[in-house]
Amino acid sequence: MALTSPISSLSYPNDLSTLLSAGGGGIGNTASSGKSNRTTIVMKSRSCNSKKKNSSLLSKIYPCSLILRPPPNTSFSSHFNLKCGKRDASVSNIFVSVASAADVLLDKALEQVLLPEGDTWSIHKFGGTCVGNSERIKNVAEIIVKDESERKLVVVSAMSKVTDMMYDLIHKAESRDDSYITALDAVLEKHKSTARDLIDGDDLASFLSQLHDDINNLKAMLRAIYIAGHATQSFSDFVVGHGELWSAQLLAAAVRKIGMDSNWMDTRKVLVVTPTSSDQVDPDYLESGKRLEKWYSENPSKTIIATGFIASTPQDIPTTLKRDGSDFSAAIMGALFRARQVTIWTDVDGVYSADPRKVSEAVILKKLSYQEAWEMSYFGANVLHPRTIIPVMRFDIPIVIRNIFNLSAPGTMICRLSVGENENGQKLESPVKGFATIDNLALVNVEGTGMAGVPGTASAIFGAVKDVGANVIMISQASSEHSVCFAVPEKEVKAVAEALESRFRQALDAGRLSQVAVIPNCSILAAVGQKMASTPGVSATLFNALAKANINVRAIAQGCSEYNITVVVRREDCIRALRAVHSRFYLSQTTIAMGIIGPGLIGSTLLDQLRDQAAVLKEKFNIDLRVMGITGSRKMLLSDKGIDLSRWRELQSEQGDKADLEKFVQHVHGKHFIPNTVLVDCTADSIVASHYYDWLRRGIHVITPNKKANSGPLEQYLKLRVLQRQSYTHYFYEATVGAGLPIISTLQGLLETGDKILCIEGIFSGTLSYIFNSFAGTRAFSEVVKEAKEAGYTEPDPRDDLSGTDVARKVIILAREAGLKLELSDIPIENLVPEPLRDITSAQEFLQQLPQFDQDLAKRRQEAEDSGEVLRYVGVVDVVNKRGTVELRRYKKEDPFAQLSGSDNIIAFTSERYKKQPLIVRGPGAGAEVTAGGVFSDILRLASYLGAPS
């Protein structure tokens, strides 16, 4: 029958065909009851004589009551005009209620079949993507057939996008949008074409016949919704559930086509649930068990294809299981059958230790406890909804998450784990199993001295929150009771704040409460793990990782179960915080992202050293060094996971982008999963050095042989060192003074242990050391300089070495380390470049004219030799008199400074402890290998500071 008048309320009986004759029913009989003042029309399905084995709900005879109740004091005949069997009829103010459906009488001759329970059953659940088209349904059917379990029940969702399409139908009908008709035709065509691709013969004919009947019924119901402009929740649930009905029938037929007998189950006949006020449902396991036994006695089968998502209320009204309903269906069925295992098939390989979209090196977890899965799902991880876990948890039935598109992946098993054991019975390496985040939150902080010791304050706070329907994600309260802090979704925080200010207006005005503060732009980071319970140091490790990544924690919460530690951070810090803690617990303790600036002689040598040693460091010392970027002055090479150092020259040439220092730094610091970042400046560029302060402020460690920052303007240097000491970032520059020699660290060690430095004297230039070690006998100074240049000891222009400026910078660095506040201009320098040659443009011309000035240095050498001495070019830090000098000095031949060879450096520390005999550091002081080695040593020192084994 068609309804053409407005309907003020409408609900439906158990069998849709008894509601609307347009769907194929006819009036069987009518009866009236004076007691209830209602007229009952019992209708019978058009397909009541179906003899098919797998007949659906609509293909059986179900006596059912349709109650048409006229308004008070109005007779039925005067109020209703029903034209049965015709397409149009007018009905006004129909109130429809449901009478309990009479049980289908079983054939007395039917043999009762007992429902087998236990390990012989395995439960499978396939989501919408798994049955998205005919090809995927075939794949599912093959998986079912290959399962060697004695008995199996398969729960199936609607085909991909179909549930959304069904909701869209309801929305269009409620909006009185005629396009719901064409939209329903699209649903019909989707399933018709799938069926024709998938099955044939009687199964195809039966399915298409049932499909057309269902579509006709839906058209009539949607027409009623269109007229009323509203659909009850029951109507919506009934319409939406058809997607599962159709996919279950298709899959059952596909399984039969392969050669395995199977029945399909409309779970509305079996699962009984009670809706709750919180938009959830509570399963009635006792009643569901009885109905399952009854269903199985009628349809005994070793392979059952069941609909997911849908169920019935105790009044036999179709409903749904709400969020993650298909998973919930599978878990309930697993509990009812006491099954061996429930397998949830999806499109991911299992449960990850963190969101792989945010942490690219997240790992698949082989096992999770029920509680761990529960905690992670609450915080948004891609695992089961907590209600899915409850039914199987009662009977210790494991749930396995598998990827239907990657059958080789073993997936994740969720089960009861013994404390402290993993799947091999060995001790777990990490107490934290996984990390999850929730974004778009705000913190609400209610504080005031008037809260302390006042009963009911927390109740009043959260009562006000409840009144506005907000969801509290996390609560934190100090033991002083001075403040209560909690997190709510950001979209709800305005209403929450207004409700609290209204509720506590008197207390705020009186000063008992100081404020209701809102902190927006927050995210929650949760660490979850069963082994966290009673394991000392987990929290310390977590917060240490956050601190080293320069992350500020705004609030903290931990339950007494110790399965979860929750922190609130700024939204913009969330991904970096997630990567930091994940790296700390899952990667090496010292996974470091590196950016190499200046792949020249020293930089390229360092990269080659990293290439040769990286694997050994990772294997033996758990130090994971990853070069994420290399930049020169013209081109840069970037990588998301680490550059292949065996090919970096080739890759930079072929794939390098135009150099952009800021873009380079952003990539190395934030475009990957590694929380610890170090920039290694292998240039001698003052512009690059000027960025150190900003890099350290952003939490980036800096290592360099570049002397420009520490010997530059004093004010900038002092500002840099203050920042370094106040932050968790490290600034290492050992190679700025003695290449690979431990000069800076030795000086710092003396000072930190309370020694007082009196004087630092040294040959700091490997180039000048070589020159004056070779400047002996009758050799000319210009000849030795030329030899040093040809051997690669000098800069391209030897005047850069001979000027003494480089030595003066090293003197300034050491002087400042010793506490002197000197500028480079305060250091008197003896320049070895003859004054007439200082302004010559060409280095080649300089070398050609240098012999003209050999006589002066030859004379000084001779004077020294006549006194049993040698010439050495030295830098001196006179700490007592607070000054420094760079000059050519004479030393006795037995002095350590006179006994050097090659390009060796030597530094003598005279202190209160080492007054009679200075502490001497001696060794190679020049060459790319040595300098790069000094930088590499600083990198390893950084790794040690970050937690690497010593």
Q: What is the structure's pLDDT at 508?
A: 87
Give the residue among 592, 574, 577 at the shortest CA–CA distance from 543: 577
Do residues 634 and 716 touch, judged by C-beta distance below 8 A? no
* Spatial separation of the C-alpha atoms in residues 115 and 111, rounded to whole Å: 13
Do residues 704 and 714 touch, judged by C-beta distance below 8 A? no
* Spatial separation of the C-alpha atoms in residues 642 and 638, rounded to whole Å: 8
Tokens, residue 704: 């360099």
* Spatial separation of the C-alpha atoms in residues 386 and 407, rounded to whole Å: 26
A 10 A CB-CB count for 861 gives 21
Tokens, residue 218: 């839906």
| One-character DSSP codes across 635-690 | EEEE-SS---TTSHHHHHHHHPEEP-HHHHHHHHHHSSS--EEEEEE-S--HHHHT
- Strand blocks (E) in 472-622: 474-477, 483-489, 515-528, 553-558, 564-570, 590-597
**Backbone angles phi and psi of 337, in degrees to 5:** -90, -5
pLDDT mean values, one per 10 residues, the chain (950 residues): 34 36 34 35 35 35 33 35 34 32 36 77 95 96 95 96 95 95 96 96 95 96 94 92 96 96 96 85 95 95 96 94 86 96 93 87 89 83 80 94 93 81 47 90 87 78 90 81 87 93 87 89 92 81 83 86 87 90 76 94 96 90 91 94 93 93 92 80 96 93 96 95 86 91 94 96 94 92 94 88 95 96 96 94 93 94 94 97 96 94 93 95 85 94 79
Q: Is 767 exposed, middle or buried (0-12, 13-18, 19+ CB in 10 A)?
A: buried
Tokens, residue 90: 């007018």
**Residue type at position 744:** I
Do residues 909 and 757 touch, judged by C-beta distance below 8 A? yes
- The H-or-E segment that residue 228 falls in is helix 201-228
Q: What is the structure's pLDDT at 264?
A: 97
Coil, helix or strand for 879? coil
Give the residue among 727, 672, 383 at the shortest CA–CA distance from 547: 727
- For residues 290, 293, 297, 301, the Cα torsion angle rounded to the nearest 10 degrees is 150
Walk across the sheet containing 701-703 and list its strands. 657-658, 635-638, 623-631, 590-597, 676-681, 701-703, 731-732
In Å, how far are 776, 789, 802, 833, 875 from 864, measured between CA atoms?
A: 11, 25, 20, 20, 19
Q: In the beta sheet, which residues pair with residue 319?
A: 311
- DSSP-derived secondary structure letter, 42: E
**Residue type at position 119:** D
**Residue type at position 415:** C
Give the residue among 553, 520, 517 at the shortest CA–CA distance from 445: 517
Do residues 489 and 571 touch, judged by C-beta distance below 8 A? no
What percent of the chain is helix, strand and coil (3-state, nearest 5)? 40, 20, 35
* Spatial separation of the C-alpha atoms in residues 720 and 733, rounded to whole Å: 13
**Residue type at position 537:** G
* Spatial separation of the C-alpha atoms in residues 626 and 610, rounded to whole Å: 9
Do residues 354 and 578 touch, judged by C-beta distance below 8 A? yes
**Residue where the block lists tokens 């002095």:** 895
Q: What is the structure's pLDDT at 683?
A: 96
Find the DSSP H helices in 538-659: 538-548, 574-586, 601-621, 648-655
Q: Which residues fall within 8 angstroms of residue 439, CB to CB, at 6 or more apart?
A: 523, 571, 574
Do residues 625 and 939 touch, judged by C-beta distance below 8 A? yes
**Backbone angles phi and psi of 42, in degrees to 5:** -95, 125
**Backbone angles phi and psi of 6, in degrees to 5:** -60, 145
**Residue where the block lists tokens 């993507």:** 129
Q: What is the structure's pLDDT at 458?
A: 84
Tokens, residue 555: 């609030």
Helices (H) and strands (E) in the chain, counts: 31, 34
Instruction: Return the exposure string of 480-494: e unless at least 16 CB atoms fall within 10 Å of the residue's CB, then b.
Output: eeebbbbbbbbebbe
* Spatial separation of the C-alpha atoms in residues 222 and 230, rounded to whole Å: 10
Angle formed by the axes of helices 242-258 and 134-146, to 10°? 60
- DSSP-derived secondary structure letter, 157: P
Give the residue among 781, 741, 707, 778 at the shortest CA–CA distance from 900: 741
* Spatial separation of the C-alpha atoms in residues 22 and 14, rounded to whole Å: 16
- The H-or-E segment that residue 551 falls in is none
- The H-or-E segment that residue 107 falls in is none
Q: What pLDDT digit, counting tens, does each position of 847-872 carry?
A: 999 999 999 999 999 999 999 999 99
Do residues 3 and 225 touch, judged by C-beta distance below 8 A? no
* Spatial separation of the C-alpha atoms in residues 51 and 785, rounded to whole Å: 108
| One-character DSSP codes across 364-414 | B-SEEEHHHHHHHHHTT-SS--HHHHHHHHTTT--EEEEETT-TTS--EEE
Give the residue among 925, 832, 830 at the shortest CA–CA distance from 886: 830
Q: Which of the following is catalytic: 810, 859, 882, 915?
A: 810
Q: What pLDDT digit, counting tens, does each position of 615-634 carry?
A: 899 888 888 899 999 999 99
The dihedral region occupied by 790, where left means phi > 0, alpha psi between -120 and 50, and beta the remainder, is alpha
Q: Which residues fall within 8 angstroms of residue 415, CB to CB, at 6 or more apart?
A: 367, 368, 369, 370, 396, 398, 399
Q: What is the structure's pLDDT at 64?
A: 34
**Backbone angles phi and psi of 30, in degrees to 5:** -130, 155
- Tell how strand 515-528 and strand 434-447 pair up: antiparallel
* Spatial separation of the C-alpha atoms in residues 398 and 373, rounded to whole Å: 12
Indicate if 916 belongs to the active site: no
Q: What is the structure's pLDDT at 773?
A: 93
- The H-or-E segment that residue 623 falls in is strand 623-631
Give the residue among 709, 874, 884 at the shortest CA–CA distance from 814: 884
